[in-house]
Amino acid sequence: MAPVLPSPARPLRIGTRGSPLALAQAHETRDRLMAAWSLPADAFEIVVIRTTGDDRSLIEADRPLKEIGGKGLFTREIEEALLAGRIDIAVHSMKDMPTLQPPGLVLDCHLPREDVRDAFVSPLAAGLADLPRGAVVGSSSLRRRAQLAHRRPDLRLVEFRGNVQTRMRKLADGVAAATFLAMAGLNRLGLAHVARSPISPDEMLPAVAQGAIGVERRADDRRAAELLAPIHDAPTGLRLACERAFLAALDGSCQTPIAGLAELDGGALRMRGEILRPDGSEVLSAAGEAAPEDGPALGRELAERLRSRAAPGFFAPA
């Protein structure tokens, strides 16, 4: 039996942050639900929820995430609204999501994954190799900063926060000569031209779950589960199950630089993982493959291999 469908009189409430990218992701989710269930746009309500991570003073101060609360900064208030019933589903960038959901919430719907690559963005240089020695590069990502420090230890790295538009303004103001953004976000905003050059994962392994959108719901809400089922992309789900198991086994947070990418190739799931010292002085990597349904076990196995090779003190304290 089909679920009770939302209507203009009783719309499905979709919770999201208010940044242009977050809204684009919420609208993509709405549009896929509209197509799946032949519903009009006004059968849905986009509910913007301000999170701690959206605090303007924190963005302008360029304080590292690890100093102000980690990944939960971008999800806590949205998940509280979901648990309280003020919204019916929540749309998230999977890269921002902790590996564990609060009791009562599940994250089992993923939209088709976008481009996983990082993008080099600069008004001055065509690529990373073209930056002069000592150039200032801004990034809020501990992973990107460590990867850059490893590849170009001559560069000066500074904290650089904010949405795409804020970061572009900071570049124009000369705060930094270059930064890195996710190609997925630029594509979703229609700003792919902003990238001077996408960077191959072979050169710069992306963050776990980069390019993926997840839709969270209450565990006991069968109606929401049934509404979301047709828009879930199973290949993306298999890839993320592997990557997030890898991250969870490493106690992934904003404290230790971690990168990982799982890809489906024929009947196999291949995963590459990487951990780095924050200063880029050491990089450890591992790779393996498994049947797609064994992705979580593969992720945990690669994490344990890296842990066994890491010297004492490799992982930053929580």
Catalytic residue among 54, 96, 115, 221: 96
- State the fold for domain 118-199: D-Maltodextrin-Binding Protein; domain 2 (3.40.190)
Task: Note the pTM of the prediction, 2 decimals.
Answer: 0.90
pLDDT per position as a tens digit, 218-242: 999 999 999 999 999 999 999 999 9
Q: Which two tokens stand for residue 24?
A: 């684009």
- Which residue ranges does the chain devote to CATH 3.30.160.40? 244-309
Q: What pLDDT was estimated at residue 295?
A: 98
Q: What pLDDT was estimated at residue 1?
A: 72
Could you list the beta-strand ranges (E) of 150-304.
156-158, 178-182, 197-199, 213-218, 258-265, 268-276, 283-290
Q: Which two tokens stand for residue 128?
A: 């990373």
CATH of 244-309, one of 3.40.50.170, 3.30.160.40, 3.30.360.10, 3.40.50.2030: 3.30.160.40
Rg (CA), the chain: 20
**How do the pLDDT tens digits run along the chain, 318 residues long?**
789 999 999 999 999 999 999 999 999 999 999 999 999 999 999 999 988 766 555 544 445 555 545 556 778 899 999 999 999 999 999 998 989 889 999 999 999 999 999 999 999 999 999 999 999 999 989 999 999 999 999 999 998 877 788 888 999 999 999 999 999 999 999 999 999 999 999 999 999 999 999 999 999 999 999 999 999 999 999 999 999 999 999 975 557 899 999 999 989 999 999 999 999 999 999 999 999 999 999 999 999 999 999 888 777 554
- Which residue ranges does the chain devote to CATH 3.40.190.10? 12-111+212-232, 118-199
What residues contact residue 98 under an 8 Å CB cut-off, 6+ apart?
Answer: 70, 71, 72, 75
pLDDT per position as a tens digit, 140-187: 899 999 999 999 999 999 988 777 888 889 999 999 999 999 999 999
Cα separation, 3 vs 186, whole angstroms? 35
Cα separation, 277 vs 284, whole angstroms? 9
Class of the domain covering 12-111+212-232: alpha beta
Residue 294 annotated as catalytic: no
Q: Please name the residue that has the structure tokens 């919204």.
A: 87
CA quadruple 275, 55, 170, 64: dihedral sign:
negative
